[in-house]
């Protein structure tokens, strides 16, 4: 049975990531009560004809056009159809589940005013793993992604069930749910807020955190192969630099490299190593600190209401407030920063790969090739790492500064939170590949030297695990196939 996360209070990014990976989600009784109370306020606003954006007005630049009660259902339905204009390849399973979980969490605060039936249907789709097809491109904020989810609730659009693509109506029929007829405000709430960005950001944080450990492991293997000096990760001098991340990296390196005869043999052979080796605690540690800082931003967003308008008060004294809580400026800045941090981690890994394969500095056979001249070994896969690092530099340009003007000057500043999260995920995917290359190269380097027992017990364990996945490379097959296997292992296993 999958883990079940109970939504009783604001979810954390770790919980969103857990749902993305397959955990079930349920709502506590008091959460359902909050949702019902917010809906009662919307009903009161409608009955009293209190003007509220997207409740009884048009949206965007049409916000001053009054929509009377008979047309409010049509408004909600039409919002979904007109906003469902995303393009590009669909989001993956984990990305889709993360967005849906964050959307439900946003409604659970009790300030959006969607009906219980709407949240129930969303929850049923998520827990059954029947997932709306969400085009990945075309959003400056959140609208197109979220509209694709909303379409399935009304029996339109498409969903995926395993490997099968089905219609929205078939998705609901599989769960015994009649297509919803949306009421006032529901169309707007279904496309509103920052759940697209918070969902993707939570997944990006989970992947970056996981890869930070693998970066330390890869660095330890490279350290040992290149006979680096142990002082850069010695405990006492590292405490002179204030950084929780740096201390964690130092602890990881010491744990993995304690007892290494290779490092003991190299001790004192150089005054200091090049920065790609010597600065591992400082660079990897800074990345870990950045992940922690950006995680705090995402948790704050998950604990916040990001709908517009929000409803408050009571059925007897209903209130509606048009503020800008749906603007994801904080998320855009955080995901830009996370992308830069991940790109930095890939960049230093690529420099270490170059040192492993470069006979001018490695002391190892040229390009770790098994046979001089007739075999190229790891020569060209270092090019692949360099290409991905270069791509990361391009991707690391800040999305949050892209700006833009939409909706006839009504939305005249855009913060691009969802695109920022999307490109952070792309950078992290490249980082995963670069780290897989370094781990493969380091394992090959061990095979190029005698005395396998000279490794530390920690790095020996890593070597054995990698060799359980891929063999020593002898130019006997396409190298990218072995790389794909190594990357899959890294993505699904802890160090």
Residues labelled as active-site residues: 53
Q: For residue 60, with 0-12 CB atoms within 10 Å meaning exposed, 13-18 middle and 19 or more buried, which class applies?
A: middle
Q: Which residue carries 């017990």 as its tokens?
A: 457
406 strand-pairing partners? 411
Rounded to an integer, what distance in angstroms lies between the CA atom of residue 344 and that of residue 335?
Answer: 14
Q: Which two tokens stand for residue 340?
A: 């830069």
Cβ density class 128-137: b for 16+ within 10 Å, e for less = eebbbbbbbe
179 DSSP assignment = P
Other CB atoms within 10 Å distance of the CB of residue 271: 6
Angle at CA 131, nearest 5°, toward 127 and 136?
Answer: 135
Q: 229 near 260, Cβ under 8 Å?
A: no
- Give the other-Cβ count within 10 Å of 468's Cβ: 9
Please give the structure tokens belonging to residue 92: 């993956």
Give the residue ranges of DSSP H helices in 155-279. 168-174, 186-191, 195-225, 235-238, 244-257, 261-266, 275-278
Give the CA angle between residues 225, 231, 235 to the nearest 5°. 115
Torsion angles phi and psi, residue 177, rounded to 5: -110, 130
Q: Which of helix, strand or coil describes residue 166? A: strand
Two tokens, residue 351? 């420099």
Cα-to-chain-centroid distance, residue 475: 35
Q: Is the dihedral of CA 151, 155, 156, 162 positive or negative?
A: positive
* CA contacts within 13 A on the Cβ side of 312: 9
Nearest CA to 98 among 14, 191, 10, 8? 14
């Amino acid at each position: 049975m999958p883990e079940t996360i109970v939504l009783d209070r604001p979810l954390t990014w770790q919980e969103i990531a857990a749902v993305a990976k397959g955990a079930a989600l349920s709502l506590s009784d008091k959460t359902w009560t909050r949702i019902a109370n917010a809906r009662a306020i919307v009903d009161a606003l409608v009955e009293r004809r209190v003007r509220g954006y997207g409740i009884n007005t048009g949206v965007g630049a049409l916000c001053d056009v009054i929509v009377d009660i008979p047309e409010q259902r049509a408004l909600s339905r039409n919002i979904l159809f007109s906003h469902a204009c995303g393009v590009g390849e669909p989001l993956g399973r984990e990305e889709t589940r993360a967005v849906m979980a964050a959307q439900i969490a946003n409604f659970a605060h009790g300030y959006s005013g969607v009906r219980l039936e709407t949240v129930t249907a969303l929850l049923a789709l998520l827990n059954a793993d029947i997932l709306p097809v969400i085009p990945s491109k075309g959003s400056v904020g959140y609208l197109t992604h979220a509209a694709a989810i909303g379409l399935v609730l009304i029996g339109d659009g498409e969903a995926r069930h395993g490997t099968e693509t089905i219609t929205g109506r078939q998705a609901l029929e599989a769960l015994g749910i009649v297509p919803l007829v949306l009421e006032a405000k529901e169309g707007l709430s279904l496309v509103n807020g920052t759940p697209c960005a918070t969902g993707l950001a939570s997944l990006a944080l989970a992947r970056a955190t996981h890869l930070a450990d693998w970066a330390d492991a890869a660095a330890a293997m490279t350290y040992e192969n290149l006979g680096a000096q142990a002082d850069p990760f010695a405990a006492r001098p590292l405490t002179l630099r204030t950084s929780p991340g740096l201390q964690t990296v130092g602890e990881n390196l010491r744990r993995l490299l304690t007892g290494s005869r290779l490092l003991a043999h190299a001790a004192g052979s150089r005054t200091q190593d090049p920065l790609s080796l010597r600065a591992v605690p400082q660079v990897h540690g800074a990345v870990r600190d950045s992940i922690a800082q950006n995680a705090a931003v995402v948790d704050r967003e998950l604990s916040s209401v990001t709908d517009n308008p929000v409803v408050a008060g009571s059925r007897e004294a209903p209130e509606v407030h048009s503020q800008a809580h749906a603007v994801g400026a904080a998320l855009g800045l955080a995901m830009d920063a996370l992308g830069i941090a991940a790109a930095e981690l890939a960049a230093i890994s690529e420099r270490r790969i170059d040192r492993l394969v470069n006979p001018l500095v490695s002391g190892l056979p040229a390009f770790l090739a098994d046979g001089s001249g007739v075999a190229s070994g790891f020569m060209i896969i270092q090019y692949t790492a360099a290409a991905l690092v270069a791509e990361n530099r391009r991707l690391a340009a800040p999305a949050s500064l892209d700006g833009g003007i939409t909706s006839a000057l009504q939305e005249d500043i855009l913060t691009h939170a969802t695109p920022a999260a999307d490109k952070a995920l792309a950078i992290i995917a490249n980082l995963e590949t670069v780290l897989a290359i370094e781990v493969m190269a380091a394992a090959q380097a061990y095979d190029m030297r005698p005395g396998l027992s000279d490794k530390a017990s920690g790095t020996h364990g890593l070597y054995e695990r990698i060799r359980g996945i891929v063999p020593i490379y002898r130019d006997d097959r396409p190298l990218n196939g072995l790389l794909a296997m190594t990357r899959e292992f890294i993505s699904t296993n802890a160090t």
